A and B are shown apart, each in its own frame.
Chain A
C-alpha cells in the first residue's frame, strides 16, 4: 500500500524560528512535492523535486527552501518563520513518468502555526 508520511501532524513555532518539515515516501517515487493548503485558495505548489539533490521552484517558493538528500525523503525548510506561513502543509509523491497520467499520493499534512 502506497504511503507518504509527514513527521508532525501539528506544529507551533515562533516568528523567526527555523522550521523543518519532513516527508518520507515508501514507494520509490522519483517526484516529490510540497504544497500549502489555505481556505479559499486550495493547494499551492511550493517546491518540487524530481530526483535526489534536484529541486524546482513551484508557484509560491518565497520564504521556503527544500532538501532532498535521499530519494525517499523531502524536507521543507522555513529559514525564518513568519505568521503568514501559518498553514496546512501537504507533501506528495509520484512516479517519474512525466506524462499525461501523473497521479500524486499525498501525506496527511502538517498544520503549522507561527505565533
Chain B
C-alpha cells in the first residue's frame, strides 16, 4: 500500500523561506516528484529525486532521504506567485505509476 503525508496548509511572508515536508511509506519506491498546482490550473513539474541528497533548481530545492522515507521541497525568496498547492508524488517501482499526497497549500503574504 501507499501512504504519503504532507501538511495541509502553510503560510509565509514574501521574501521568506518555506520548507514543505513529505513522508512516505510505500511498497516500492523508484523516485519522488514534486509538482506545483495553481488554483484552477494543471499541475506542473518542479523536481524529481531518486538518489539521496539535495537537488537545487533556482529558488526551489528538493531533498530526499530514502532510508527515512522523507523528502522536502524548499522554496526560497518567496514571491506572491508561489502561492499554490504543492504535490508530493512517489513513483512506484512495481508498476511505475505515481501515488500522490493530498497536497500542501502555500499562501504567501505581503
Contacts and interface: CB of A to CB of B under 8 A. Distances in A.
A85 B97 CA distance: 22
Contacts of B70: none
A102 B43 contact: no
Contact of B42 (A59, A100, A102, A108): A108
Contact of B100 (A39, A44, A101, A109): A44
Contacts of A101: 31, 48, 50
B45 A90 contact: no
Q: Report the contact-size class of chain A (Cβ under 8 Å from the partner).
A: 20 to 34
B44 interface: yes
Contacts of B31: 100-101
A106 B43 contact: yes
Contacts of B89: 43
Contacts of A12: none
B91 interface: yes
A106 B97 contact: no
A9 B68 CA distance: 40
Interface of A: 4, 35, 39-45, 48, 58-59, 90, 98-109
